[in-house]
Amino acid sequence: MHSRRTIIAACAALAASRAAHALAPPPTLAPGVLRIGTYFVNPPFEFIENGKRVGYEVDLMNEIARRLGLTPLFVNTRWETILAEMQAHRYDCIVGGITITPAREQILAWSAPYMTTTLSLIVNGAKTPAITTLADLKTASVGVQADTTDYDIAVTMQKKGEIGKIIVYPFNHIADAITDLAAGQITAVMKVAPVAAYLAQHTPNLKIIAEVPNDPQPLGIGFAKNEQTLLAATNDTLASMRADNSLTNLSHRWHV
């Protein structure tokens, strides 16, 4: 009888230990805190509105942190440095409408995509009303952000004769590209679809005329290569958010 009680007690202790382990937050740079590198110049993913940090990915990371039992801490940085900073373990993870590419997979680990989108081309309907399709951009000057998939694809399109001149803007100067487009100084701006839609909606006369075909943009959360525990926990959380429609509801909330 004593032996049976001992076995039952041992099993109960093991089950309790497993339950506690399953509920324990994954290890992070600072215990209990999820340190997230990003940049607040990328609406509707993350931006500043009325002095407050808001956006689709802000809400996404807040919910992931909540489900992991962690407190989110957003750290503002720049696109030009964020990948190297993640390699140097400055953050637990990074987010910012970042497309998962083979080159980026060489230097960082990535979550499963939380969204797969496209690149859109925005034009000025008042300044260039005759431009209505991708085929009309053969001599166009197209604004893109430096060191992005937008730029890489623009170069490919230029080589194919699909667009004319490429105008390169620093990442955090996308507003300058939109200002130039509104003034008629460039013909188009190419940007990942949710950002393009937001920018077009908030600037008079601008509209999206085309999506770049055959170039899907899977967006993911980046981690250091050796951070497999937090990566796995994040992927589990994304899967649960997909299953309970939280990702869908979040997309509807931010129109992405």
Helical segments of 24-146, H only: 56-68, 79-87, 102-107
**Residue entry with tokens 């324990």:** 24
User: Per-residue pLDDT for 9 more than 60?
Assistant: no
DSSP category for residue 99: B
Would you call 220 helix, strand, or coil by DSSP? Answer: coil
Q: What is the pLDDT of residues 198-254, one digit of tens each?
A: 999 999 999 999 999 999 999 999 999 999 999 999 999 999 999 999 999 999 999
**pLDDT confidence of residue 64:** 98
CB neighbour list of residue 165: distance below 8 Å, 6 or more residues apart: 140, 141, 142, 158
The H-or-E segment that residue 115 falls in is strand 115-117
Residue 49 tokens read as 């509105």
Quick: pLDDT tens for 129-152: 999 999 999 999 999 999 999 999
DSSP 8-state secondary structure symbol assigned to residue 224: -
Domains parsed from the chain with CATH numbers: 2-116+218-254 (3.40.190.10), 119-215 (3.40.190.10)
Closest CA to 128 of 205, 28, 60, 233: 205
Confidence bin at 20 (pLDDT 50/70/90): very low
State residue 15's pLDDT score.
39
Cα separation, 160 vs 95, in Å, equals 32
Structure tokens, 242: 């997909």
In whole angstroms, what is the distance from residue 190 CA to residue 3 CA?
72
Q: Which amino acid, 34?
A: L
CA 13/CA 256 separation, integer angstroms: 46
- Tell me the β-bridge partners of 189: 122, 143
End-to-end CA distance of the chain: 62
Give residue 19's pLDDT band: very low, low, confident or very high (50, 70, 90).
very low
pLDDT in tens, 79-120: 999 999 999 999 999 999 999 999 999 999 999 999 999 999
Look up residue 128 and give its two tokens.
């260039």
Residues of the chain with pLDDT > 90, as a percent, come to 91
Look at residue 159 and tell me whether its pLDDT is greater than 70: yes
State the pLDDT at residue 221: 98
Name residue 143's beta-bridge partners: 167, 189
What is the share, in percent, of the chain residues with pLDDT greater than 70?
91
| pLDDT at residue number 18 | 36
Burial category of 106 from C-beta neighbours within 10 Å (exposed 0-12, middle 13-18, buried 19 and up): exposed
Residue carrying structure tokens 């623009």: 154
Instruction: Kindly indicate the confidence band of residue 21, based on its pLDDT and cuts at 50, 70 and 90.
Output: very low
The band of 5, judged by pLDDT with boundaries at 50, 70 and 90, is low
Q: Is a pLDDT exceeding 70 seen at residue 57?
A: yes
- Per-residue pLDDT, averaged over 13-38, amounts to 73
* pTM of the shown model: 0.88
